[in-house]
């Protein structure tokens, strides 16, 4: 690993003046004691406004300038999906640790290149998949690992949500980088891996189609063949404003149900079932998901442990998402490369 900065608060550059940085990552960095040194945006007026609103002393339109600063240790990349590859590589080549938004890239080759450059530079690369940091998901992972429900046979994911107007934009208008597969389903894949291990082997996807459907798919269901002979079913959507999200795990010796568990907030309940009788699981810690992610990333910088979701984990979830998109295009089952 590269030479670490002296003990003290991690100093950050924000690449992309995004909503998620504003609402989630900036508060998490500051709650963990980190400092934000500079924000970058390609739009000068937006960079200026964003920096002022979030009390960041410096702004720039140049990625090179942002990551080249001596007072920056780590970079959070949350720009347009198509820009992630070049920006992550630029940060890595400048010797800065990288927390990158999903999807890491729009192609598997680009995502793998990002991971390779970071590894060669000896810096930490993490993917901002928030669900593995969820208190409910962590409890489900512990229950599965304990053997209480036996061997896992199936996972059901309901990640159909209602998208706020402020977040629509490219998510519904961009047929290449938008849609629920790259925005929501990709999180499902990271969540399932974090709870039961393994990865997707094949994907069959179906989407709502019709005159009211936007350019990018806004409601998709999939059946995913997982390692260890597990079947995963998912429903991801932007048009559900009524039914709570949830994740269920079926084992040969029991099952786990959860409600309100596919959100970015530390909420939700977990129930363990045996013979149709449910017992609530205890969730003793409900830390903010993004604070947990930042805390894990910081630990990786200082101690060399893996972050909660590595760059390679982000590649695995992207591989499944790209297979789901290919399945929509072809109407056929698509295999997922083993990563």
For 256, the 3-state DSSP assignment is strand
Tokens of 160: 């159909």
How many other C-beta atoms lie within 10 A of the C-beta of residue 178?
Answer: 21
Q: Report pLDDT for 167.
A: 80
User: For the whole model, what pTM was predicted?
Assistant: 0.94
Rounded percentage of the chain residues whose pLDDT exceeds 90:
88
Query: What is the mean pLDDT of the segment spanning 216-224?
Result: 92
**Chain-wide mean pLDDT for the chain?**
94
For the CA atoms of the chain, what is the radius of gyration? 20
> Which residues have a Cβ under 8 Å from the Cβ of 23 and sit 6 or more positions away?
none
Q: What is the DSSP letter of 305?
A: P
Query: What is the mean pLDDT of the segment spanning 270-287?
Result: 97
For 148, the 3-state DSSP assignment is coil
Decide if pLDDT at 197 tops 50.
Answer: yes
Decide if pLDDT at 1 tops 70.
Answer: no
Q: How far is CA 218 from the centre of its chain?
A: 18
Q: Report pLDDT for 2.
A: 40
Query: What is the mean pLDDT of the segment spanning 14-24?
Result: 97
| Cβ–Cβ under 8 Å, residues 315 and 104 | yes
Q: Which pLDDT tens digit goes with each residue over 23-67? A: 999 999 999 999 999 999 999 999 999 999 999 999 999 999 999
Q: Report pLDDT for 170.
A: 75
In the chain the domains, ranked by start, together with CATH numbers, are: 11-123 (3.40.50.720), 131-290+320-335 (3.30.360.10)
Q: Which pLDDT tens digit goes with each residue over 92-137? A: 999 999 999 999 999 999 999 999 999 999 999 999 999 999 999 9
Residue 166 pLDDT grade (very low, low, confident, very high; cuts 50, 70, 90):
confident
Length of the chain equals: 339
Decide if pLDDT at 314 tops 80.
Answer: yes
Q: How far is CA 104 from the centre of its chain?
A: 9
Q: Where are the alpha helices (DSSP H) in the chain?
A: 19-20, 26-31, 44-53, 63-67, 84-93, 108-121, 135-146, 169-173, 180, 186-196, 289-303, 311-330
Tokens of 316: 């695995």
| Cβ–Cβ under 8 Å, residues 12 and 29 | yes
For 109, the 3-state DSSP assignment is helix
How many other C-beta atoms lie within 10 A of the C-beta of residue 198?
Answer: 15
How many other C-beta atoms lie within 10 A of the C-beta of residue 204?
Answer: 17
Q: Which H helix or E strand runs over 58?
A: strand 58-60
Q: Report pLDDT for 176.
A: 74
Decide if pLDDT at 211 tops 70.
Answer: no
Look at phi and psi of residue 59 and say left if phi exceeds 0, alpha if psi is from -120 to 50, else beta.
beta
* Cα distance between residue 254 and residue 278, in whole Å: 10
Residue 137 phi/psi, 5-degree rounding, is -70, -35
């Amino acid at each position: 690993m590269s030479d670490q900065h002296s003990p003290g608060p991690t100093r950050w550059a924000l690449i992309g003046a995004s909503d998620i940085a504003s609402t989630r990552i900036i508060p998490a960095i500051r709650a963990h004691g980190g400092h934000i040194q500079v924000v970058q945006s390609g739009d000068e007026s937006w960079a200026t406004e964003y920096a002022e609103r979030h009390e960041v002393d410096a702004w720039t339109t140049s990625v090179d300038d942002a990551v080249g600063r001596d007072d920056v240790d780590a970079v959070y990349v949350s720009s347009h999906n198509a820009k992630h590859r070049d920006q992550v590589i630029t940060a890595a080549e400048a010797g800065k640790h990288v927390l990158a938004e999903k999807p890491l890239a729009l192609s598997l080759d680009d995502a793998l290149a990002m991971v390779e450059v970071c590894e060669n530079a000896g810096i930490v690369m993490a993917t901002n998949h928030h669900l593995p940091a969820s208190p409910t998901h962590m409890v489900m992972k512990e229950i599965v690992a304990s053997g209480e429900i036996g061997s896992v046979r199936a996972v059901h994911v309901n990640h159909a949500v209602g998208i706020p107007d402020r977040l629509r934009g490219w998510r519904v208008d961009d047929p290449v980088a938008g849609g629920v597969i790259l925005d929501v389903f990709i999180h499902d894949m990271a969540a399932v891996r974090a709870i039961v291990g393994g990865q997707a082997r094949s994907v069959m996807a179906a989407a709502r189609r019709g005159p009211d459907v936007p350019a990018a798919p806004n409601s998709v269901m999939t059946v995913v063949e997982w390692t260890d002979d597990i079947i995963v079913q998912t429903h991801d959507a932007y048009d559900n404003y009524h039914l709570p999200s949830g994740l269920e795990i079926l084992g040969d010796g029991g099952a786990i149900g959860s409600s309100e568990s596919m959100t970015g907030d530390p909420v939700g309940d977990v129930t363990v079932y045996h013979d149709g009788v449910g017992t609530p699981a205890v969730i003793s810690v409900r830390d903010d998901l993004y604070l947990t992610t930042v805390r894990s990333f910081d630990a990786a910088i200082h101690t060399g442990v893996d972050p909660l979701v590595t760059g390679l984990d982000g590649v695995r979830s992207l591989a499944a998402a790209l297979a789901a998109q290919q399945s929509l295009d072809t109407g056929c089952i698509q295999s997922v490369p083993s990563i």
